[in-house]
Amino acid sequence: MAVNADGSKETQRIRMDIPKVDAVFVGTGDLFAAMLLAWTHDHPDDLKV
């Protein structure tokens, strides 16, 4: 919920569809590596080195 400058309240509903990945992540390193791999696959030219 947000309050506008004039004091009126506004709500916004957001829907996200997140596909389920059939995998097991043991620790934060596994999850980070999987997310980084997915990002570089979808955005191959958007990783600064």
- Residues involved in catalysis: 30
CA 27 to each of CA 2, 23, 35, 36: distance values in angstroms, whole numbers, following the listed order? 36, 12, 13, 14
CB 45: neighbour CB atoms within 10 A? 5
